[in-house]
Amino acid sequence: MKVDPRFLVEAGPEVFTGSELLIKGALEADGGTHYLGGYPGSPIAEYFDRMTTLKELLAAKGIHAVINNNEALAAAALNGTQLLPCRAMIVMKSVGVHVAADAPLICTSLPGNTSGPASTRNRGSTFIS
């Protein structure tokens, strides 16, 4: 499958949707991104469609991309990445955050978390809805 050339451009203006920018940001993040996940639903469903079409590019960049079965499992997977020096992101619709709260969110700010830039270490994870 041919990769959308906008995702390969490293400089210059390009036009993206908001969902596409989430993936583009993960591709360009300093230090890399290792895990993308979440649970689909409007208005974030396009994110997962784009993740599917870019699966070869994501794999080549070392990014494990998944569609989780629900928001709680997405949050649990995110918690697991925080125990390693990994950068990860999950997305879900805003009404799914209460489901994600069922996951044990305590370990996202454990001491020793070395993922991400120094200014964001040990502050927990950001839920993008």
Q: Residue 69: what are its φ and ψ, rounded to 5°?
A: -70, -25
Can you give the pLDDT at residue 104?
Answer: 60
Sign of CA dihedral 60, 85, 105, 19: negative
Prior bond of 43 cis (ω within 30°): yes
- Separation of alpha carbons 48 and 31, rounded Å: 23
Domain 18-24+31-120 fold:
Rossmann fold (3.40.50)
The ranges assigned to domains in the chain are: 18-24+31-120
Q: How high is the mean pLDDT in each 10-residue block of the chain (129 residues)?
A: 84 90 92 92 89 92 92 87 87 82 56 50 39
What is the model's pLDDT at position 42? 83
| pTM, 2 dp | 0.74
Asked if 65 and 93 count as a contact pair (C-beta separation under 8 A), the reply is no
Q: How many other β-carbons are positioned within 10 Å of the β-carbon of residue 121?
A: 13
